[in-house]
């Protein structure tokens, strides 16, 4: 995505104190983002599943890995 000119905000790089803190920080990134990029197995991740629904609710562009 960086090669395509996107500024990548990756929730996997968050330094958090537990899952709850990580999820809140991931949501903060989502609010700042223009789009969300989901990996192939996104549906098997509870966090990604919720992030997708929030992104749709916020009218963010949702991109999917091929």
What integer pLDDT is reported at residue 14 of this predicted model? 76
Could you report the per-residue pLDDT of 14-54, keeping only the tens digit for each? Answer: 777 877 788 888 899 899 999 999 999 999 998 899 999 99
What global pTM score does this model have? 0.80
Instruction: Identify which of 39, 8, 38, 45 has the alpha carbon closest to the alpha carbon of residue 23.
Output: 45
């Amino acid at each position: 995505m960086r090669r395509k000119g996107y500024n990548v905000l990756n929730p996997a790089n968050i330094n958090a104190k537990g899952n709850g803190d990580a999820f809140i920080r991931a949501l903060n990134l989502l609010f700042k983002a223009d789009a969300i990029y989901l990996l192939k197995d996104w549906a098997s991740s509870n966090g990604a599943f919720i992030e997708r629904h929030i992104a749709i609710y916020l009218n963010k562009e949702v991109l999917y890995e091929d």
